[in-house]
Amino acid sequence: MILESLVVLVILVMGLLAVIQWSLLMMTHAGVTAAATEGARVAARAVFDNSQQMDTEAAVREILAAHGVGLGLPLTVVVTDLGSAVRVTVTVPMTSTGVPDLLGRLGFTVAGNSLRVSSTASKT
């Protein structure tokens, strides 16, 4: 009876940790998506190509900071001109997201991975 209860308890705790980690990851993904969308909007409205990258990165970092992601750590913002549209791809390493690695000791780690989100906006 005690052994069965212990096995079930371990499985329930692992499930709870997985749900918590997944929820935090999805909240972070929503923040990175918002940042990529805002970056695409800023890049599409940029008048000068030389300021486009800097303005886009500043907008992306501002949105990410509001979501508590990527504070002072490296992230990648790639602006791609598609002719009548602009695509912005934001890549954030999991180490800068603040998502705890709750299942890392059990072999289900998020360390070493990145969140990558792209967004496209039409030029005006």
Cα(25)–Cα(69) distance, rounded to whole angstroms?
Answer: 11
Q: Is the pLDDT of residue 109 over 80?
A: yes
Residues 69, 64: Cα–Cα separation, whole Å: 5
pLDDT of 98 above 80: no
pTM of the model as a whole: 0.85
Over residues 27-74, the pLDDT tens digits come to 999 999 999 999 999 999 887 777 888 999 999 999 998 888 866 678
Q: Where are the domains of the chain?
A: 2-122
Q: Which residues contact 74 (CB under 8 A, 6 or more apart)?
A: 93, 96
* Both tokens assigned to 119: 């967004």
Q: What angle do CA 5, 8, 14 make, to 5 degrees?
A: 140
Q: Could you tell me the CA-to-CA distances from 54 to 51, 116, 122 in Å, in that order?
A: 5, 19, 19
Percent of the chain with pLDDT over 90: 51
Average confidence score pLDDT of the chain: 88
